[in-house]
Amino acid sequence: MQNNASDSPQAVPQHEVPRFPIRLRWTLFVGLAVAAAVVLLAGIVLDMERDAWLKSQEAQAEIQVKRLGDELKIPMLAGSSAEVDFIIQNFSQSIPNVTAVYFQDQAGKKWSVGTTQDIYHIIAQTTLPDVALHLSTKQLWFAKKVTYAGSDVGVVAVQYSEDAWESLASELLQRMFFAALFVIVLASLVVYWLAGRMSKPLEELAEAAQFVADGDYDHRLHIRGNDEFTDAATQFNRMMDELQHKEEMRKVLGRYLNPELVSDVFDGEHSSALVNRKQEVTVLFADMVSFTAFSESAETEEVVDVLNQYFEVFHSIIDYFGGHVDKYIGDAVMAVFNHPKEDKKHTRNAVMAGIAMTVACKHLGILRKDGSKVSFRIGLNRGDVIVGNIGAAERLEYTVIGDAVNVASRMGGLGGADEVVLPKATFDMSGQGFSFGDMGKIAVKGVSEALQCGVVKVQSEKVANDISFAVARAFDMTLPTSVRVIVGDIN
């Protein structure tokens, strides 16, 4: 029978987000930042180079267009159309990067080489100076007025190719690409290395935090350096020291107080756990028969050793059946069922625990000097008690008090060695599988009416098996592994 244990719900696995290490994040971030900077820088450099190239092109165009205009003045004044055409053709062939030439005299007659499209419409809408003007078109058109003796002779326009610029821009972009690629790779490697060194303390901290999550407070971080990571590692180690100290205190206090209450206090739940209230419980008292004679005839160390052996087994049995040891009173132990852990079958479990304790006494079989066995008598009672903090402000005890506790103590005094005595009303709440050896109505000190009391024994084979298992388990848990107990006769 394992009625004091509950299956804890298994944690539902959550969807795991793909891990993205810091070193990869920083490498990607720096790579993208360098790439963006290179693109921006390339745009600025290309724009500056474009302006410089245009200024150079404008300077050359001004000289060449002026020379062409000067060559066209005499043929125009002489009215030699063939010579004008020859000069334009020769100019377009002899000057590099010239893709089109356009000339228009004052009478509106036009000469052109190459694709001039609608350049004359643009010229007609533009006031041209005496020097070459870069027209606001998509192509590199430069135009100027041709004058002679203060009179306008015509308008000349020359278009230049942008192949030179495209070749220059392509070469610049190629060089900048390889330079950027080198910088990105170098920066990424350096950042990956630096980020790795920076993330290593964080990885160690995460690993150490996992130890804490698993309940291991012995792990410590190695302190090195003098930076924020060092501060974090130092504070983590300090936290681990505090947690380890707290856990040690929890274990030590758990040996003297109810472990569940200790856990509630340490976990910050004492405000709800230690509230004063009335509650129905089943109280168990077990005290040694003829303890005074035993303590007088035995050495002090022997008395303590014998009590500890019995109490060790008793504690395991009580805990197995869902109760908790409230206190040890000299040679007696007081246990409470249905507090602080709720148990609807607390009376039944308390009865089985009491019987199991008598069986354990028989199997321990420690003899006194007079040859008699050390034995205990057990009393049980169910009733309402007050659960609260009893004592002075400097020293409190969280326990149960009330008539139900006193009656349980009186029941123990009514029985003999290895007997479990309880009121009939308590027996009626224990359920099936037990028999009641009626002792009649007995006047109990502190109770106005006599109580019908009796000795409870096991009647069901199933109950006997459950008690046998609890006793065997208690011995295997508390005694050396070389000792093996086989429980046979419950009664």
Average pLDDT over every residue of 369-393: 84
Give 400's contacts (C-beta < 8 A, 6+ positions apart): 279, 281, 283, 326, 336, 339, 385, 386, 387
Domain layout of the chain by residue ranges: 22-166, 215-256, 275-478
Task: Report the percent of the chain where pLDDT is more than 70.
Answer: 84
Q: How far is CA 163 from CA 93, 170, 176, 199, in A?
A: 16, 10, 20, 51
Return the amino acid letter for 259.
P
Query: Which pLDDT score is estimated for 352?
Result: 95
Burial class (CB in 10 A: 0-12, 13-18, 19+), 141: buried
Q: Choose which CATH entry (3.20.20.10, 3.30.70.1230, 3.40.50.170, 3.40.50.720) describes domain 275-478.
A: 3.30.70.1230
Query: Which pLDDT score is estimated for 11?
Result: 45
> For helices 163-213 and 228-256, what crossing angle results, to 10°?
20
User: Does residue 484 surpass a pLDDT of 50?
Assistant: no
CB 355 within 8 A of CB 456: yes
Average pLDDT over every residue of 142-171: 83
Give the dihedral sign, CA 294/298/303/305: negative
Average pLDDT over every residue of 44-58: 85
Whether pTM > 0.75 for this model: the answer is no
- What is the rounded distance in angstroms from the CA atom of residue 65 to the CA atom of residue 322? 110
Strand partners for 384: 280
Find the distance separating the first CA and the last CA of the chain, reported in whole Å. 19
Query: Which pLDDT score is estimated for 269?
Result: 53
User: Does residue 428 surpass a pLDDT of 80?
Assistant: yes
Average pLDDT over every residue of 212-228: 73
Parallel, antiparallel, or unpaired: how do β-strands 376-391 and 277-288 relate? antiparallel
Query: Which pLDDT score is estimated for 412?
Result: 87
Strand partners for 435: 457
C-alpha neighbours within 13 Å on the C-beta side of residue 447: 21
Query: Which pLDDT score is estimated for 408?
Result: 92
Average pLDDT over every residue of 283-300: 84
Q: Which of 437, 302, 417, 434 is nearest to 362 (CA)?
A: 417
Q: Which of 150-154, 229-233, 431-435 has the lowest mean pLDDT?
A: 229-233
Residue 427 φ then ψ, to 5°: -60, -40
Query: Which pLDDT score is estimated for 481?
Result: 40
Is the model more confident about 254 or about 202?
Answer: 202
User: Does residue 1 surpass a pLDDT of 50?
Assistant: no
Please give the mean pLDDT across all residues of the chain.
Answer: 80
Domain spanning 22-166: CATH 3.30.450.20 = yes
- Total Cβ atoms within 10 A of residue 66: 16
CB 99 within 8 A of CB 116: no
Query: Which pLDDT score is estimated for 249?
Result: 75
pLDDT in tens, 176-202: 888 888 888 888 888 888 877 777 777
Q: How far is CA 195 from CA 82, 131, 257, 358, 466, in A?
A: 77, 61, 50, 68, 62
